[in-house]
Structure formats: C-alpha cells, structure tokens
Structure 1
Amino acid sequence: MEDWFNRKIKPMLAVRGKPFSSDDYIYEIKWDGTRCIAFVDVGKKRLRLQNRRLIEIAYRYPELDFFDFESQNAVLDGEIVVFHNGKPSFPLLQQRDHVDSRLKIEILSKRIPAVYIAFDVLYTASDGWIMNLPLVERKKILDELAEEARRVTKSEFIEGAGVEFYRKAIEMGLEGVMAKRKNSTYQPGKRSAAWVKMKKRKTLDCIIVGWLEGEGVREGKFGSLVLALKSGDKLVHVGQVGTGFESDFIDWFYEKLKEIEISKPWFEAEFKRRVHWVKPVYVCEVEFLEVTEDGKLRAPVFLRLRDDKGPDECTVEGLYGLVD
C-alpha cells in the first residue's frame, strides 16, 4: 500500500497577471499567508504541514483543528493565515513563523492564533490521488469532506466576474485575487498559466546577501539589507532595503546574520557605509514602486522573511514581473 501520509509534494504555483473575467475560471481571495500542504490522518490523529521548501511546520501551529474539519483522511493545499481586524496580518504571521520554543509556541497559539484556509484537495481515503481531476471536481470533493471547525476552513470562490471581484477585494484592503482555470489539473511544483495571481502591490522575493551598518537608533545593528537575485550561477545586486522592520525583528535577525557572515563580496558595488556580506541563506519579500533603468528596486519596503522559499527560486526574471 502506498504511504500517502509521508509523500513529499511541492505546491502548484501561479503566474502573475492583470485582472480579467472569464467563464472558464473561478476566482478566490489571495490570502497573505504561509503556503503549505496538509497531510491529515483522521484515524490515527496524525498531521503533517509541509511548506514550499518541504519543511515540516505543524509543530508551530497546535491550534489548527484539522481532525474536526475533515471527515476522512486527506491531503489538502492551502494557506496558514493570521487575521487582525478581519484581514490577514503580515507582522503577526511573522511572529508565528520564526518561533521554535515549545513554550512560546503554546503562548502565541492562544494570543495570536492562526487559521488554515484550504483551497484544494489532492488525495482522499475514498478517492485516492485526484490531482488529475479538473479543479471544479476537486472543489466538490473538498466541499464534501469539509465539516465545521474553528481554525480550519475552506476558501470560497465565485465564477466569471473576476474584474469586479478583484476591485472589491482591493477595496477591502486585501492583497489580491487568484484566477484558476476550471478544468485545470494539479501540477505539483510547476508554475502554470492555469493559475493567475492578480495583486495590487508590486512585490518581489529577494536573497539577502549582506547588511550595511546602522546609524542613530540602529547603531550596532543593521541599517539596511543588501538584496540580490540569481542569474545563472551569479548573484545580481538589486538594491538595499532599510525600512519596514520592527525593532524586535532587527534585534533577532541581526544575531542570525552575524552567524552567517563571510569575508568575500558577492559583487562590486558602491555603498555609503560598510558592508557585511553573508551566505545566501535568507529570502525576504519587499514591496517597491518600480524597477529603475539600471535594474534596482525603487523605494523598497521590507514585508517579511520567506522561510517557505529558497534562494534558487529568486531569479532575475521575477524582477520584470514575469514570475513572483
């Protein structure tokens, strides 16, 4: 018998696009969360949560009541989200993402609890693997297995009216909308044009390759982070980000950066202050206004670390809006 519970699955990914309407697509909210595949064994009360990098993260979210949500064993695709005033919160999610202490996890699970929003199902005990079924059929199966739970729910969707749905989502202060072709199969690890993300903000995931020494209140810490993208085997400089950090994050992340400091520079560039280079381990998401003519990000703002994304996924193609 196949060991469905321990299978490694990379989630299907979307391309970026502009708002559109089509009767061939369904539309759902794009949640600002941590993407992960959920392996739920209802009978044995076992749970695995696997992020995009195939790292197990279930231990961080003990409050997620999957065994109440599912009527049978299943593998789901969805997002872990932390809400504040009815909307997803980046800063609060960040607090949950970087905690390993059992005591802190227990405290945070009560103080800022997360929700898992399921938008796809890849396997059920009764149907087996269903990734080759059309999306609309997988959605029906998800409806059938879903039951009332406090911290796990399913993503609602509409058909056809994508432009209007996107407009309303942005008015509500949400990140954007996902458009998914009704007859699309699930393609693990593939970035497919069958799924289109329509986002208000220009954001990019970048590799952190160094830091500039801070001044004033940040003296003795980092003032800004040096950002890069991969181009073949090389790292290409795309600028620095010095805003968007919370003070607690600066203190915590500065210690992490010192652990991976190296002496050899990644590229030649002029900096106003001393640069400390680091191994290309961490990925962060930044918001920016535009890309300048020399390939730098204009007015970038730090949004969050991306524990679920590896440096190899951050390429120069993303700089020009081809992928995200």
Structure 2
Amino acid sequence: MATSDRSAADPALIRPMLAVPGPLPADDERAPDGSALWAYEVKWDGVRCVVEVASDGAVRLTTRAGNDATPRYPELASLGAQLGGRAAVLDGEVVVLDAKGRPDFGLLQRRMGVTNPRRAARLAVEYPVHLVLFDLMWLDGTSLLGRTYRERRAALAALGVSGPNWSAPGYIEGHGQEAWDATLRGGFEGVVAKRLSSRYTPGLRSPDWRKTKHLLTVDVIIGGWAEGRGGLAGLPGAVLVGLAEPEGLRYVGAVGSGMSERERHDLARYLGVIPRGGSPFANPVDVPAPHWVEPRLVAEITISGWTSGRVVRQPVWHRLRPDLTRLG
C-alpha cells in the first residue's frame, strides 16, 4: 500500500509535504486560458508541525522528525475547542513573532525542547508562540490528500480558525513578484510557491512546491578563526567575524560554509601574518580554541537574517573584499 494510501486511512501517519529550493515561477507562467498556475505564501521561519485535532478537542503537534511537540506549546491546546467537535489534520508552522509581527527564530529557540509543564507555561507567557496554518489534509473522517491545493485551502478557510495564538493567512495567485517584494519589505524569510492543482504528497519533496529565500549581503570584519577538522586541520574551518560599532568590534558569528579549499589556503596565509595575542571583539566569543588576528580583513557574506542576540543566521562565505581590506 502506498504511503499516501496509509495516510488517507490513518491521519496519524500523515507527514508534511516538502518544497524544493529554487527560483520562483515567472509571472507569465500561466494556463492556456490565462489563469494563474501558482499560489504564493509567506515562508515562515519556525518549526514545521502536523497538527491533529480530535473530535473531543484534544490537540497533538508532531514535528517533521516525528517528535511530539505538544507539551512545548500549551497555549495551542484551546485550538481544538474552536473547531467545535470537528476532527482535522492540519499543516502549519510554529513561530514566535517579534514586536513588528515578524518571526524571530532566536526567540522560538527558547521554547524548543522544553517539556516541563511549569516552565513551558511560564515561557508561554513570556514568549507566546503563534501557529500559522496553511493546509488541511484530513477532515471529519475524510482524506483531502487527493484534493487540489485550491480545494484544500478553501476547506481550511471554511473552518474559520482564528485566535490569539493561531491563524490561517491567505495566499495570492499569479503575482509572484509582488509576493517577493512584499515579503522582502516585511522582513520575512522568503516565499513558497505552490501549484494550485497540486495534491498533497505526505513526506515527499515535490517540485509542485518551491521555496525561495531572501538573502542579505553583509560586509564583516575578520577578528579570528577556528581550525578545521580532518582534512582541514591547520586551515580555517571558520572565520570569526564582527561589525564595527561605537563600543568596538562586536562579534556576530562564525562563517565556514561556502569556502573553497583554495580560499581556505589563501585565508591561512593572510591570517598568518596578522596574529594577535587577545580577542579584538568587545563582546564574548563562544568558540573553543580561537586564533585571534588583527581586524584588518573584510569579507562579504550572505545571511538569512539575525537572531534576537544579533548573531548572523545561516551565514555563507562569498568573498574577501580587497577594496576594503587593510593589510598594511
């Protein structure tokens, strides 16, 4: 029996459908009658969960890894009461919103892994989560996996789920560039494009769903490095970078992803001629056995955003900036 067949029979087996990374569809990609082929949603920066609501109102959240996340988020328990006895399986993302209404993964991390009831309840007050619902796979004993995205979204909207800690935001059809521009202005992680005719395929990464992230380019100052392991022994596994501020050079993270072997060898030579006895950073650096250097090299990196502690998220090395570097 196929996975989707088992899932249709047992909602507890449904796993999230996954998107492939790639560029957004072109706005002129339309059906022969001129209608839109794609829907566009915000890409939320949080924890993906399948949400099971029983007819008695009990709520269970399961992560992509199959872990029970229900005890972590007690403020979501009353979602079941709003469905008024209807049993459902929904797809969504758990986020913590900042003061501007944008997801802050750093704040969400304070909630992750906490299962002690008292502590979870206290954190629910300090850092309340918001459950963003964007799909409906099963309702009142009927599987919706074979329905189209448009049909499933209509069924989700008809449920009227809206509360202090959950919502089901809408989507737009056929205006990918507008969605891209709006999410960029709003400070969101990116856009997910979903084919309007797509069925829900549990646990599979489908080209019918595409995710595209916004990336920020930042110039940072190298103040140290951490030695690599294995074949990278003796070479920088990551460089320790910061930003110049009135209080001094502020450490913002370690960058190792994206470097070629040749770039690591080049960096080893450059960094070897500007060693320093102590940290050039004004704030602590939580990296074991760092090698400090004079803060003269400037690098360009891309990041997906910033944590609440003002540390770079998902940094990727791009290049050295010789036009900004001072080795003399």
Q: TM-score range by the shorter chain?
A: 0.5 to 0.7
Tell me if 1:59 matches 2:67: no
CA apart distance, 1:144: 1.2
Distance change (3 Å), C-alpha of 1:180 and 1:295: farther
User: Secondary structure of the residue that 1:97 maps to in structure 2?
Assistant: coil
The reply to whether residue 136 of structure 1 matches residue 150 of structure 2 is yes
Aligned length: 236
Question: Are 2:8 and 1:8 aligned?
Answer: no
Q: Partner amino acid for 2:50? A: I
Check 1:271–1:106 CA distance in 2 against 1; reply closer, same or farther (3 A cut): farther
Distance in 2 separating the partners of 1:135 and 1:292: 39
The residue aligned with 1:96 is 111
Task: Say if 2:31 is the partner of 1:31.
Answer: no
Q: Is the 8 A contact 1:289 1:299 kept in 2?
A: no
Offset at residue 18 of structure 1 (A): 1.9
* Map of 1:179 onto structure 2: 193
Question: How many Å separate the matches in 2 of 1:287 and 1:163?
Answer: 33
Whichever of the two has the greater Rg, that structure is 2
2 CA distance for matches of 1:118 and 1:66?
A: 11
Kept after mapping to 2: 8 A contact 1:30/1:178: yes
| Match in the other structure for 1:161 | 175
**Aligned partner of residue 148 in structure 1, secondary structure:** coil
* Superimposed CA distance per residue, residues 193-228 of structure 1 (whole angstroms, 9 cap, x where no aligned partner): 1001111128xxxxxxxxxxxxx9xxxxxx96x9xx
How far apart are 1:172 and its partner, in Å? 1.2
SS of 1:139's equivalent in the other structure is helix
In structure 2, the CA distance between the partners of 1:146 and 1:161, relative to structure 1 (3 Å rule), is same
Counterpart of 2:209 in structure 1 is 195
**Residue 81 of structure 1, CA deviation:** 0.8
Match of residue 114, structure 1, among 129, 138, 141: 129
* Separation in structure 2 between the aligned mates of residue 150 and residue 118 of structure 1, nearest angstrom: 13
Deviation at 1:304, TM superposition (A): 10
The 3 A distance-change label for structure 1 pair 287 and 168 is: farther
2:151 is matched by which residue type in structure 1? E
**In 1, Cα distance between the equivalents of 2:66 and 2:138?**
18
Pairing 1:1-324 to 2, within 5 Å after superposition: 4=10, 7-19=12-24, 20-21=26-27, 22=29, 23-41=36-54, 43-64=55-76, 65-71=78-84, 72-85=86-99, 86-125=101-140, 128-201=142-215, 267-271=230-234, 291-294=258-261
Query: Measured at CA, do residues 103 and 140 of structure 1 come closer, stay the same or move farther in structure 2, by a change above 3 Å?
Result: same
**Deviation per CA, 1:112-171, whole angstroms, max 9, x where unpaired?**
110111100000006x11101111000111111223322121021011101121111111
State the Cα distance separating 1:98 from its structure 2 match: 2.8
Does the 8 A contact of 2:161 with 2:168 survive in 1?
no
Distance 1:177 1:120 in 2: 16
Match of 1:29, SS state, is strand
Q: Which runs of 5+ in 1 are unaligned?
A: 203-215, 217-222, 227-238, 240-264, 275-285, 306-318, 320-324
Normalised to the residue count of structure 1, the TM-score between the two structures is: 0.64
Query: Per the alignment, do residues 31 and 301 of structure 1 end up closer, same or farther by CA in structure 2, a change over 3 Å counting?
Result: closer
Distance 1:147 1:191, change over 3 A: closer
How big is the shift at 1:44? 1.9
TM-score, scaled relative to structure 2: 0.63
Give the CA deviation at 1:291: 2.5
What is the CA RMSD across the aligned residues, in angstroms? 3.6
Separation in 1 of the partners of 2:148 and 2:236? 54
- Per-residue deviation at 1:292? 3.1
Shift of 1:69: 3.8
Q: Which runs of 4+ in 1 moved over 4 A?
A: 271-274, 286-290, 295-305
